[in-house]
Amino acid sequence: MRKPFLCVLALLIFNSCSSKKRPILGETVFQIRLNTNYKDASISPLKKKDLKKFNGLAFFPIDSSFIVKAKFTKIKNALSFKMSTNTDRKILYKEYGILRFPLKGKNHELTIYQSQDDLRDENYKDYLFLPFTDATSGSKSYGGGRYMDIKTTDINKDNTVLLNFNNISNPYCAYNDKYSCPLTPRKNHLDLEVKAGIMAFNNP
């Protein structure tokens, strides 16, 4: 009679432990990957108190109208400059190119940058930096702007780049003031509400 009792007890313990494991939230591969990283204490930018009750980042609903093709124009002979951050630190960048694209019935443009520090790192030498603010910044999204990850290899032979605003993230300093993050240059403001991608952080 003891063996069935032990089996039932083991099953109850297993179910109890399983119920405590929170599933990774997200509607897309990008969102699931981001939530997975933020849930991992070894790499998460979240403060310990926020990590304990973290249930997933907030995103605007997926909207295909925020996936657009941009025309890329390379900026030749650009000079290096020190980009301001939310701290006293300055980061060396160059203006890499201009992206021109239609969005919500209007034509827009954003400047894309290249970190001069990343050029010395084999793992990041192909990375480009596209920060922007929009009419949601400071209310529905982080006031310092949001970032889109683009690589030089994303630029097609016809000098076009696919921009997916559903796949944009916040800088780490939106979650933790121990980080130093580049401030979005004023020229990279979009005069419309970009209701796509990551929203302002609120971890109740």
Strands (E), 11-156: 67-74, 80-84, 90-103, 106-115, 127-132, 146-151
pLDDT digits (tens, 9 = 90+) for 103-155: 999 999 999 999 998 888 888 889 999 999 999 999 999 999 999 999 999 99
* Residue environment code for 147-186, b if the CB has 16+ CB neighbours within 10 A, otherwise e: bbebeeeebeeeeebebbbbbbbbbebbbeeeeebbbbbe
Q: Tell me, what amino acid is at 7?
A: C
Better-scored residue on pLDDT, 157 or 123? 157
pTM for this one? 0.85
With pLDDT > 90 as the criterion, what percentage of the chain qualifies?
81
